A and B are shown apart, each in its own frame.
Chain A
C-alpha cells in the first residue's frame, strides 16, 4: 500500500517520466535534423576548404555587387513598408470605420500568394506583352529585369510585416494617451512623435526586423523579375543560386553563410525584444 500511494504522488496532470523523455527526445531529434543541422551545414560547407577560400569568395566583384544590391533593395523597400505600416495601423487602430476588417484582410494578402506569383504579377504588368510595356520601352524606362522591378517585388512580399505587428499593438493601446495629449494642446504631429511613437517603438522595431530579414532573403519573387544579370540585377540569394548551379559550392555557401548570419542576428534580436519588451511588442504575444 505504501508503495502504491507513493506512486500516486506523481502529479496527475503531467506525463510519466518515460513519456516525457520520449517526447523531448522526439522534439529535439526533429529540430536537430530539420532546423539545426541545415544551419550548421551552411557554415561547415562555407569553411570546408579553409578560411582563405571562404574569404576569396568575397573578392569576386559580382559577389560584392550582389551584396550592394541586396542592401540597396532593403534600404528602399523596408522604409516604404515602415511608413505604410504606421499609416495603416494608425487608420485601423485609432478609428472605427466601415470596411475595416476587409482592409485588414487585404493587407495580409501577400502572405497567401506564392512568391513566384508575386513576381509574375509585375512581369504581366510591365513586361513586353503588357499594356504598359511598349510605353515604358519607348520612354526608355526599365522596370523589369532592373532594380525597380526587384524593389517592387520585394515590397510586395514584405508588405504586411510592419502593419501586422503594429495593428494589434495599437488597438490594445487604444486612444486615451493621444486624446490626453490633444486636449492639452499638442498638435497632431506632436501627438504622434511624442506620445504614440514612444508607445510603439519596440513593436515597430520588431516588425522592421522581420521585414528586413525577408527583404534581404527573398528569392522566388525577385528571381522572376530580376533577369539574373551578373553584377547588375543579382541579389545575394540569386547569386547563391548561380554559384551553386556552377558547382562553386564554397563560394555559394560563403555568400549563404552571410545570409545565415543575418538570420541568426535577426533571431537573437527578436528573442531579446520578446524577452525584455514582450508586453510592449504585441498584445497577447506570449513567446
Chain B
C-alpha cells in the first residue's frame, strides 16, 4: 500500500517492505499498550490535574508526606551508593577472576530479579531483626539493623544490586586489554591503571546502574515494608503512604504523592537516556 508513496517521495509512516503483518502487529501492539498502560496512566495524570493547586501543595507540604518522600529518596540514594561500590567489586570479580563456581556466583546475582519481593522482605526481616542471625551479631556492636531506616537500606541494597552488576558487567567485559598494557608500559602502577584509566571508562555504565538502582529503590514496596517498621515520619516510605491514603479513601492524597513520584522517576529516566547518549558519543558504546 506504500509502494506508490515510495515513488512519489511524500511523507510516509513506514518504509516499503515485502514483509507482511505491519498493520496487524502494530495495530494490536498500540491498542494493547493504550488499554493496559496509557489510559490508566493518563487517568492518574487527569485525576491529579483535577486537584486544585492549593490542594496539591497542601498534600505535598504535609509533614508526613514530606518525611515519607525524604525517607524513600534518602534510603534509595544510600542503597544505590552501597550497590555501586559492591556492584562494581562483584562485577570485577566475576569478569576478571577465574575461580571454581564463577558461573554460580554470576547466576546468584540475578536472585533479586527472580525472588518475589514479599519473600525477600520476610527473609531479610528474619535475618536482620534484633533476634535474627545477623541482627544478633549487629546488636552486640550496638547496630540496630531492622525496623528503622537502616532496615530500609538493607532491603533496597538487596533489590538494587543486579541493576548495577548487570549494567557494568558487559562494559567491563569489552575493555580492551591494550589500554591496560599501554598504561602499564607507561609506568602506571596497578592502582593508577584501575582508578585513572579503567574506572573513568566505566563511569557512564556505573552512573546508569546507579540511576536504575536508585529509581527501583524509590518505588520499591514489597521487600521494604516487612523490615522498615513503618513508623510515620521515621521509617515510612512514600509507596506505603500511598497505600495508607488509599485505605483511608483519600484518593486525592494518594494521587498527588503518586504523581510527584512518577514525575521524579521520569526525570530520572530522562537523565539515564542522556547519560547513555553522551556515553555513546564519548566512548562509542552504550552504557
A residues near B, CB below 8 A?
12-16, 19-20, 23-24, 26-28, 30-31, 33-39, 41-42, 45, 80, 83-84, 87-88, 90-91, 94-98, 103, 106-107, 109-110, 112-117, 120-125, 127, 129-130, 152, 155-156, 159, 175, 178-179, 182-183, 188, 191-192, 210, 213, 216-220, 223-224, 236-238, 240-241, 244, 249, 252-253, 256, 259-260, 263-264, 266-268, 270-271, 275, 284, 286-287
Contacts and interface: CB of A to CB of B under 8 A. Distances in A.
A188 B25 CA distance: 12
A33 B169 contact: no
B43 A240 contact: no
B22 A260 contact: no
13 contacts: A12-B184, A23-B89, A23-B92, A35-B108, A35-B109, A37-B127, A38-B115, A38-B124, A84-B32, A94-B19, A112-B265, A117-B262, A123-B251
B123 A256 contact: yes
B22 A95 contact: yes
Given A123-B246, A263-B116, A286 B173 contact: yes
Given A13-B193, A87-B25, A156-B36, 6 more contacts: A26-B86, A39-B111, A97-B15, A124-B44, A218-B116, A267-B111
A116 B242 contact: yes
Identify the interface centre among A90, A110, A117, A219: most chain B CB within 10 Å of its CB: A117
Closest 8 CB pairs of A and B: A217-B116, A114-B219, A219-B222, A12-B184, A97-B14, A121-B40, A188-B20, A220-B221
Contacts of A37: 127, 133-134
B234 interface: no
A115 B184 CA distance: 48
Contacts of B39: 125
B36 to A, nearest CB: 6
Contacts of B246: 120, 123, 224
Interface string B115-128: 11111101110110
Contact of A110 (B37, B123, B166, B173): B37
Contact of A240 (B119, B133, B239): B119
B97 to A, nearest CB: 6
Contacts of A240: 118-119, 122
Interface in B228-265: 239-240, 242-243, 246, 249, 251, 254-255, 258, 261-262, 265
Contacts of A159: 36-37
Contacts of A129: 249, 251
B37 A13 contact: no
Given A41-B127, A90-B21, A259-B119, A84 B29 contact: yes
Contacts of A14: 96, 190
A257 to B, nearest CB: 8
Contacts of B1: none
- Place the interface of chain B in its size category: 35 or more
A271 B33 CA distance: 30
A116 to B, nearest CB: 4
Given A124-B251, A270-B110, A84 B17 contact: no
A38 B108 CA distance: 12
Interface in B76-121: 86, 89-90, 92-94, 96-97, 99, 103, 105-120
B282 interface: no
A179 B96 contact: no
Nearest to A258: B119
Contact of B222 (A107, A237, A287): A237
B243 A116 contact: yes
Contacts of B140: none
B117 A178 contact: no
Identify the interface centre among B106, B108, B261: most chain A CB within 10 Å of its CB: B108
A42 B268 CA distance: 34
B122 A106 contact: no
Contacts of B105: 27-28, 31
B115 A287 contact: no
Contacts of A179: 18-19
Interface string B7-45: 000000111011111101110111011001111110110
B41 A121 contact: yes
Nearest to A188: B20
B17 A94 contact: yes
B215 interface: yes
B55 interface: no
A188 B189 CA distance: 61
B119 A256 contact: yes
Contact of B17 (A117, A175, A244): A175
